[in-house]
């Protein structure tokens, strides 16, 4: 019940809420009494009452007109929400003249207190004020007001509070619930705009947004944009997109969001399994439509969209910047804000738009009057709606475009827009500096073909293409032939083809395909061309995939270990050529297995000999070690407590040290390392001779196992 | 109007001339090929328009009035916003503090004061809206503010310099309309760059600027030969006498009311200092002329930053710097004050029409192999110096015998070889100045009909009689060199006896399918954008007399 009342109230204007508020103040009343206490034209109040009755917010009980119970609690918010702040009248109000006379006789202090309480919502704490005194015994202003029954105890509903009864509040406000009229609708500040300006700006923006969406999706079709884990679009991707579209980032975010809302954009996994944004299949259908219809699809999607592209780049409550295409980037109130803002613009006289500077605040004020209760973020939403509408070409020069009226009415705006759009042109002007200028929007087919053979240098209503060796090569890669290229340029150009362009095409064609690349697994070479010819045509060689690429060279699609035996089967006597062109000959190795290990018979003599050899080896190793130690650089070895500080020192100067340490097997070893960090008794270091990008070269050593450190430089 | 802020102008449209005039104050001409010219809106251009007294409304109205298609709203907003940034900061003279930076928009002032680059250039804060500026940092500050996007309007004015009477001596000749316009728009703008094609008489624009300034003048030129030409021209065209004009070069060091110095002598460094820097302070110069400003060496940029109180005029045919420092030229010397498409001046008959032909030779098979296996840095020289070119040059020279011809190249051995083959004198950097002068004079007088020259002849050498140039090699892909070389030919000669105007022939010989051809394409781009369409012919066809 309560929520349905709240919803019904949300749909009322401030004037309607004010009338309802007056009804609550009056309690049970008649139409004429209500008209008397609302500060508005009688006709207006009557019309509002009809509406309130229709919504069942007011009803006629046998005793009189009453508000639906529960409404007084639901009427919240200040004066902006049409709430007068007066308490309901007592069931048996005193005559107004009596109250007026009592108020007039109040001393200053008491009068100020009364005004203050009324202004603050009609209730006050009783505090130490005594109740039930006669006016003559009252010592404080509060006691006087209570004695005069201008403040009355709140009773069981508001225990401990004093209340100004509605009739007193009405008397203070001259018999009405408000001092200002409630039926004055705020005017939207407007200014007249030449329709030429509006049309030019709006139609320009409309074609631009269509072109940008196409450009964006065309681009993402070839170079998909990486999606964040939250499916949003990262800041870097947005920057790149803005640069590609030659617009600011906020406008780029809008283009991206509109494309998304129109169903032209979706995610899929790329080759590495990462989510990327790419155009949908719908994009292909959309781009085949005429410009006006494409625009109407985008504009409708935008109008119904709760998305907030204007927030992109701002920081959210968690201080993280908002990303485009993030699911959370929306507000339920946005579609209504758009519809109402544009409806308010549509109500302006023909040829009028928002006044510069004051227009937007007045529009916000107007919408605040029409829907005072929510949402709280309206000023932002309305400002965004107006700004986005301008980018989409729904408005131009802050004025509603004529073709946007059918859009708002739910009709098709395309025919009206189509009349304003320049007709597509079917030719370009080719110039000697190798540029081709399309002096207007090109026919889609021609545009697509041109894009294959030339690079777009600047876009707008017109397009500048530049022919380069790369672009011509791209066309050849796509299957164009030289003759087709020449013919296409000749047909597309209204001006004679400058000679440098013909030469450019011919030059590229000449070098195109000069090198040929293919796949082969092995080759067969022979000075004897006849032998190769015989081999190639041999019936049994069919399975070898032989292809003659030069008189003396055959390539095969099978690997050499298949080819070799098969050639021998065919009676040839091939030899293998190494990568350096040298012939490798070698008899096939006979097969052998590994010799199993057998336990040796104890042989003391041999064991003794082996032992003494081992001792000798150990001694030699030790002496070598001593020798090495003597030849070592003079830097002192650090041991014991100095180890840690020596390591820290090396980390700081990013130097190399030689450490002596005992490994997990108890073997003492020495190693040259580049210490990286010491933490928790563990040293992390890289091998000194490791490549910088070798990740495996990083090792950890327990510091307590390091016996000494010898600095050796960097 | 395109979304990258370029404007496309249809040349054949009946309103084209009118539109060109309307957009010229704020848009920069970028390319002018045959059908569609491209202009661009840049912040700098828009600010210059503001400086010249145009406001955003005029600019927007002009765009809307001439645009064939609806103009995107965002671009118009952008124009207005960009233009509104100009003049929030002002450089003013202050009775006690000399030069101050003042602002009517306190947040902007606060923003720039917080920029690190600016900090060292400013003195103490005088009040909330004013900061003292070290006078020597005037140029650097303006440059830095421009980079921050808050260009300062300079109200501090210019010093007049030491007065010196200079008048144009228009006896038997008059200043051409475009020369007068160029000098005037420079003078009203205070400082700046004038861009005119080679052969269109930039020296006279300099002389006209001097006549406006009527003050002592320092003229900076590229080399001694061109210094002499300036002197001769000034003596002939103005009231100045030879005694009033001094030459300051490696050999002579005269400081006179009008002094002509070479870039080279000023940038000579001895023991880490520039001994000739004193030249700038030697007199109270009222005007400084920078000839061939596209070649301005880096040290001069720094010196120029200290000269912001003096009027400066830069002259060039091609403001294309291969080092990309065009922005520095604009901010230190001044914005572009005048620019005219080459073809327009040609149409008025002030420069000769030119026929540009690229002749392609094929490398013989043996050379192709050498080329293919050569080190990358050797390839251009190999391709450019192929002996095949000699024969083609010889044939071309024969075809144009009787017409004064220049053969221009980069590599000395190649030039020597050509000189021997053609039996013609050769001028390179090693040729003594006197000898050069003699040969150029002989060429001018018609005594010699054929000269082989290296890049010393790229600039500022006035050879009005030249009708044919054959280019065999160049500095890789340098666009401005190509333009300068063509410029040698554009000086219009006297109409022949049959009243026919001279047509210049500009041949470039390139080796097919090599980097030589690639560089040639890059080099030709500037000329193609100026409307000089190249014809490509095969050496075989050309030799057959086609």
Q: Which residues contact A362 (CB under 8 A, 6 or more apart)?
A: A186, A187, A188, A189, A354, A355
DSSP-assigned letter for residue B257: S
The Cα of A494 is separated from the nearest Cα of chain B by a number of Å equal to 11
CB atoms B533 and A499 under 8 Å = yes
Burial class (CB within 10 angstroms; exposed 0-12, middle 13-18, buried 19+) of A137: exposed
Percent of chain B beyond pLDDT 70? 95
**Average pLDDT of chain A, as a whole number:** 84
User: What does the pLDDT average to over B190-216?
Assistant: 86
On whether any CB of chain A is under 8 Å from the CB of B535, the answer is yes
User: What does the pLDDT average to over B514-527?
Assistant: 82
On whether any CB of chain A is under 8 Å from the CB of B546, the answer is no
Burial profile A519-557: b = 16 or more Cβ within 10 angstroms, e = fewer: eeebebebeeeeebeebeeeeebeebebebeeeeebbbb
On whether any CB of chain A is under 8 Å from the CB of B64, the answer is yes
Q: Is the pLDDT of residue A350 over 50?
A: yes
The structure tokens listed for A236 are 């870097």
DSSP-assigned letter for residue A243: H
Predicted confidence (pLDDT) per residue in A154-197, tens digit: 776 777 788 888 888 888 888 888 888 888 888 888 888 888 77
What is the reported pLDDT for B526? Answer: 78
On whether any CB of chain B is under 8 Å from the CB of A514, the answer is no
A225: left (phi over 0), alpha (psi -120 to 50) or beta: beta
**Choices 1.10.10.10, 3.30.1360.10, 1.25.60.10, 3.40.50.720: CATH for A2-81:** 1.10.10.10
Q: Is the pLDDT of residue B486 over 70?
A: yes
Give helix then strand counts, H and E, for chain B.
Answer: 23, 22
Q: Is the pLDDT of residue A443 over 90?
A: no
Predicted confidence (pLDDT) per residue in A26-40, tens digit: 888 888 888 888 888
The structure tokens listed for B542 are 């050309």
B119: left (phi over 0), alpha (psi -120 to 50) or beta: alpha
Is B352-543 assigned to CATH 2.60.40.2470?
Answer: no
What is the reported pLDDT for B146? Answer: 80
Is B327 or B520 the better-scoring residue by pLDDT? B520
- The interface predicted TM-score (ipTM) is 0.78
Q: Which phi and psi angles does B101 have, rounded to 5°?
A: -105, 120
3-state helix, strand, coil in chain A (%, to 5): 45, 15, 35
Is B352-543 the same fold as B177-344? yes
Is B177-344 assigned to CATH 3.40.50.2300?
Answer: no
User: What does the pLDDT average to over A49-65?
Assistant: 87
Residues of chain B contacting residue A199, judged by C-beta atoms under 8 Å apart: 70
User: What does the pLDDT average to over B442-458?
Assistant: 83
CB atoms B4 and A397 under 8 Å = no
pLDDT band for B281, please (50, 70, 90 cuts). confident
On whether any CB of chain B is under 8 Å from the CB of A390, the answer is yes
User: What does the domain layout of chain A look like in residue ranges?
Assistant: 2-81, 96-164, 190-418, 429-511, 522-577, 631-713
Distance from C-alpha of A570 to C-alpha of A463, rounded to nearest angstrom = 64
User: What does the domain layout of chain B look like in residue ranges?
Assistant: 6-84, 89-154, 177-344, 352-543
What is the reported pLDDT for B464? Answer: 74
CB atoms B533 and A435 under 8 Å = no
Window from A150-164, A675-689, A697-711 with minimum mean pLDDT: A150-164
Window from A121-135, A381-395, B512-526 with minimum mean pLDDT: A121-135
What is the reported pLDDT for A357? Answer: 77
CA of B524: which chain A residue's CA is closest?
Answer: A433
Least CB–CB distance from B73: residue in A205, A503, A511:
A205
Contact A255, A209 (CB under 8 A): yes
The structure tokens listed for B375 are 């080190």
pLDDT band for A589, please (50, 70, 90 cuts). low
pLDDT band for A714, please (50, 70, 90 cuts). low
Q: Which residues contact B17 (CB under 8 A, 6 or more apart)?
A: none
CA of A251: which chain B residue's CA is closest?
Answer: B74
Three-class secondary structure of residue A520 per DSSP = coil
CB atoms B36 and A429 under 8 Å = yes
The structure tokens listed for A551 are 């008189």
What is the reported pLDDT for B392? Answer: 87
pLDDT band for B546, please (50, 70, 90 cuts). very low
Nearest-10 Cα torsion for A289, A290, A294, A299: -150
Residues of chain B contacting residue A428, judged by C-beta atoms under 8 Å apart: none
> How much is the pTM?
0.67
Q: Is the pLDDT of residue A297 over 90?
A: yes
Predicted confidence (pLDDT) per residue in A244-280, tens digit: 888 888 889 999 999 999 999 988 888 888 889 999 9
Residues of chain B contacting residue A461, judged by C-beta atoms under 8 Å apart: 1-2, 68-70
Q: Is the pLDDT of residue B544 over 60?
A: no
On whether any CB of chain A is under 8 Å from the CB of B455, the answer is no
Residues of chain A contacting residue B69, judged by C-beta atoms under 8 Å apart: 204, 207, 422, 440, 460-462
Instruction: Tell me how many degrees the CA angle A404-A408-A410 measures, rounded to the nearest 5.
Output: 115
CB atoms A207 and B70 under 8 Å = yes
Q: What is the CATH number of domain A631-713?
A: 2.30.30.100
Residue B196: CB atoms within 10 Å:
23
What is the reported pLDDT for A78? Answer: 77
On whether any CB of chain B is under 8 Å from the CB of A197, the answer is yes
């Amino acid at each position: 019940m309560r929520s349905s009342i709240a919803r019904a109230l949300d749909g009322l204007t401030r004037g309607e809420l004010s009338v309802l508020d007056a009804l609550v103040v009056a309690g049970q009343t008649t139409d004429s009494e209500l008209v008397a206490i609302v500060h508005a034209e009688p006709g207006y109040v009557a019309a509002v009452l009809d509406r309130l009755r229709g919504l069942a917010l007011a009803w006629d009980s046998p005793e009189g007109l009453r508000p639906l119970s529960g409404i007084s609690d639901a009427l919240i918010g200040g004066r902006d929400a049409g709430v007068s702040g007066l308490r309901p009248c007592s069931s048996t109000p005193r005559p107004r003249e009596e109250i007026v006379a009592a108020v007039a006789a109040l001393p200053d202090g008491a009068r100020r207190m009364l005004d203050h309480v009324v202004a603050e919502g009609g209730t006050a704490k009783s505090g130490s004020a005594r109740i039930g005194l006669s006016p003559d015994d009252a010592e404080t202003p509060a006691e006087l007001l209570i004695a005069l029954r201008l403040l009355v105890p709140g009773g069981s509903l508001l225990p401990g509070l004093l209340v100004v009864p509605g009739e007193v509040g009405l008397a203070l406000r001259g018999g009405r619930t408000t001092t200002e009229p409630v039926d004055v609708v705020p005017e939207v500040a407007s200014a007249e705009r030449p329709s030429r300006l509006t049309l030019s700006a709006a139609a320009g923006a409309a074609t631009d947004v269509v072109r940008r969406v196409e450009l964006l999706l065309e681009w993402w079709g070839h170079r998909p944009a990486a999606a964040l884990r939250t499916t949003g679009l990262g800041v870097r991707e947005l920057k790149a997109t803005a640069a590609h579209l030659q617009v600011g980032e906020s406008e780029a975010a809008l283009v991206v969001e509109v494309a998304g809302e129109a169903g032209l954009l979706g995610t899929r996994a790329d080759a590495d399994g990462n989510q990327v944004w790419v155009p949908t299949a719908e994009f292909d259908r959309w781009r085949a439509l005429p410009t006006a219809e494409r625009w109407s699809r985008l504009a409708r999607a935008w109008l119904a969209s709760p998305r907030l592209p204007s927030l992109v780049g701002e920081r959210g409550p968690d201080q993280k910047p908002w990303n485009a295409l993030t699911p959370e980037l929306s507000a339920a109130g946005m579609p209504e804000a758009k519809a109402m803002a544009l409806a308010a613009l549509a109500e302006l006289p023909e040829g009028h738009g928002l006044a510069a500077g004051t227009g937007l605040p007045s529009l916000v004020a107007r919408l605040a009057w029409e829907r005072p209760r929510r949402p709280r973020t309206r000023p932002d939403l309305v400002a965004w709606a107006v700004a986005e509408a301008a980018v989409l070409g729904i408005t131009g020069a802050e004025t509603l475009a004529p073709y946007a009226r059918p859009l708002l009415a739910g009709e098709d705006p395309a025919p009206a827009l189509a009349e304003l759009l320049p007709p597509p042109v079917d030719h370009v002007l080719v110039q000697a500096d190798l540029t081709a200028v399309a002096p207007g929007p090109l026919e889609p087919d021609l545009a697509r073909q041109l894009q294959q053979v030339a690079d777009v240098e600047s876009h707008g209503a017109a397009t500048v293409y530049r022919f380069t060796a790369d672009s011509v090569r791209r066309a050849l890669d796509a299957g164009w032939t030289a003759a087709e290229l020449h013919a296409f340029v000749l047909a597309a150009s209204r001006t004679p083809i400058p000679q440098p362009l013909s030469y450019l095409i011919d030059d590229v064609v000449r070098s195109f395909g000069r090198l040929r690349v293919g796949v082969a697994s092995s080759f067969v070479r022979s000075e004897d061309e006849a032998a190769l010819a015989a081999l190639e045509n041999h019936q049994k060689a069919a399975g070898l995939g032989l292809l003659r690429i030069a008189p003396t060279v055959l390539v095969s699609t099978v690997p050499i270990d298949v080819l070799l035996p098969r050639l021998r089967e065919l009676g040839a006597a091939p030899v293998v050529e190494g990568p350096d062109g040298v012939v490798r000959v070698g008899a096939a190795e006979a097969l052998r297995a590994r010799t199993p290990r057998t336990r040796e018979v104890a042989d003391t003599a041999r064991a003794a000999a082996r032992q003494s050899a081992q001792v000798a080896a150990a001694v030699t190793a030790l002496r070598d070690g001593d020798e090495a130690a003597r030849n070592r650089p003079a830097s002192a070895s650090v041991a014991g407590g100095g180890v840690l500080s020596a390591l820290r020192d090396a980390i700081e100067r990013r130097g190399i040290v030689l450490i002596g340490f005992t490994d997990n097997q108890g073997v003492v070893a020495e190693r040259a390392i580049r210490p990286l960090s010491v933490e928790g008794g563990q040293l992390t270091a890289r091998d000194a001779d490791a490549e910088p990008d070798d990740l495996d070269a990083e090792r950890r050593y327990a510091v307590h196992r390091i016996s000494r450190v010898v600095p050796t430089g960097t | 109007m395109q979304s990258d802020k370029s404007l496309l102008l249809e040349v054949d449209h009946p309103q084209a001339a009118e539109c060109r005039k309307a957009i010229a104050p704020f848009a920069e001409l970028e390319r002018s090929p045959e059908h569609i010219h491209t202009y661009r809106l840049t912040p700098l251009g828009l600010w210059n328009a503001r400086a010249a007294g145009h406001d955003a409304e005029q600019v927007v109205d002009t765009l809307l009035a001439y645009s064939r298609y609806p103009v995107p709203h965002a671009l118009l907003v952008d124009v207005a916003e960009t233009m509104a940034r100009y003049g929030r900061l002002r450089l003013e003279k202050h009775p006690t503090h000399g030069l101050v930076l003042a602002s009517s928009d306190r947040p902007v002032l606060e923003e720039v004061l917080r920029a690190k680059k600016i900090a060292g250039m400013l003195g103490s804060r005088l009040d909330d809206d004013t900061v003292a500026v070290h006078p020597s940092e005037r140029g650097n500050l303006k440059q830095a503010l421009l980079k921050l996007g808050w260009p300062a309007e300079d109200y501090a004015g210019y010093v007049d310099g030491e007065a010196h009477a200079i008048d144009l001596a228009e006896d038997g000749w008059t200043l051409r309309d475009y020369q007068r316009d160029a000098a005037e728009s420079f003078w009203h703008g205070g400082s700046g760059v004038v861009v005119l094609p080679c052969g269109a008489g930039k020296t006279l624009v300099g002389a006209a600027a001097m006549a406006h300034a009527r003050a002592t003048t320092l003229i900076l030129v590229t080399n001694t030969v061109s210094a002499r030409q300036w002197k001769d021209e000034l003596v002939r065209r103005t009231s100045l006498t030879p005694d009033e004009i001094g030459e300051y070069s490696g050999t002579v060091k005269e400081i006179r009311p009008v002094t002509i110095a070479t870039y080279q002598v000023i940038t000579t460094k001895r023991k880490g200092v520039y001994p000739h820097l004193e030249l700038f302070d030697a007199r109270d110069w009222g005007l400084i002329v920078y000839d061939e400003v596209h070649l301005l060496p880096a040290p001069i940029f720094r010196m120029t930053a200290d000269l912001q109180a003096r009027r400066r005029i830069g002259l060039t045919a091609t403001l294309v710097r291969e080092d990309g420092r065009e922005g520095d030229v604009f901010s230190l010397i001044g914005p572009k004050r005048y620019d005219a498409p080459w073809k327009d001046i040609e149409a008025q008959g002030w420069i000769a029409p030119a026929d540009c032909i690229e002749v392609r030779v094929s490398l013989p098979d043996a050379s192709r192999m050498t080329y293919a296996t050569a080190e990358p840095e050797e390839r251009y020289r190999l391709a450019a110096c192929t002996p095949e070119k000699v024969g083609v040059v010889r044939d071309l020279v024969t075809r144009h015998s009787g017409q004064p011809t220049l053969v221009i190249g980069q590599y000395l051995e190649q030039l020597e070889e050509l000189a021997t083959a053609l039996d013609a004198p050769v001028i390179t950097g090693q040729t003594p100045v006197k000898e050069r002068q003699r040969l150029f004079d002989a060429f001018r007088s018609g005594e010699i009909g054929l000269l082989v020259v290296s890049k010393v002849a790229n600039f500022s050498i006035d050879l009005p009689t030249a009708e044919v140039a054959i280019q065999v090699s160049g500095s890789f892909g340098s666009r401005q060199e190509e333009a300068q070389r063509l410029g040698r030919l554009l000086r219009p000669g006297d109409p022949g006896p049959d009243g026919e105007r001279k047509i210049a022939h500009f041949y470039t010989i390139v080796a097919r399918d090599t980097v030589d051809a690639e560089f040639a394409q890059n080099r030709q781009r500037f000329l193609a954008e100026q409307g000089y369409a190249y014809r490509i012919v095969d050496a075989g066809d050309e030799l057959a007399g086609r």
